[in-house]
């Protein structure tokens, strides 16, 4: 019996490229970085708002820069992807049983999408878009 344990060499990035489901998992996890960065941006905005009108106007001016617009667009895409993958996983993570039968997975996911659309319309209404 050997005293040296077997240590497999695992390259740091290749494990999730082996199977498509691992790649989807990692891409979903990477979207949380964008969500966190956008949350930091919102906290900075609150800090600028509390600092006074000139700080707030400077923050709004910075939000209009091309780099900021690209960042916000990437955060929006990441948030939509993150939400859609979560809604699709909900049917497996939270199966709903009524009596002896299970509710079909597409009904569970579809209900999430419907509520998401309705809440988005409510937010757009109060934002003055409609």
For 33-83, how does the pLDDT look when each residue is reduced to its tens digit (9 = 90+)? Answer: 999 999 999 999 999 999 999 999 999 999 999 999 999 999 999 999 999
Distance CA 78, CA 41 (A): 15
| Interval 104-129: pLDDT, tens | 999 999 999 999 999 999 999 999 98
CATH topology of domain 1-75: 3 helical TM bundles of succinate and fumarate reductases (1.20.1300)
Total-model pTM? 0.77
Per-residue pLDDT at 2: 65
Dihedral, 80, 81, 82, 84 alpha carbons, nearest 10: 80
Which element (helix H / strand E) includes 102?
A: strand 101-102
Residue 97 is inside which H or E element, if any? strand 97-98
Contact 22, 30 (CB under 8 A): no
* Domain coordinates in residue numbering, the chain: 1-75
Query: In this structure, are residues 16 and 25 in contact, taking their beta carbons and an 8 Å threshold?
Result: yes
Instruction: Tell me which DSSP letter residue 103 carries.
Output: P
């Amino acid at each position: 019996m050997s005293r040296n344990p077997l240590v497999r060499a695992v390259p740091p990035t290749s494990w999730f490229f082996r199977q498509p489901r691992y790649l989807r998992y990692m891409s979903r996890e990477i979207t949380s970085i964008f969500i966190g960065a956008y949350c930091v941006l919102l906290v900075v905005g609150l800090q600028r708002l509390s600092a006074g009108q000139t700080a707030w106007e400077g923050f709004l001016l910075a939000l209009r820069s091309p780099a900021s617009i690209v960042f916000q667009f990437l955060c929006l895409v990441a948030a939509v992807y993150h939400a859609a993958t979560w809604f699709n996983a909900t049917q497996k993570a939270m199966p709903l049983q009524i009596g002896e039968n299970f509710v079909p997975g597409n009904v569970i996911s579809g209900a999430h999408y419907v509520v998401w659309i309705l809440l988005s319309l409510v937010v757009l209404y109060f934002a003055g878009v409609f």
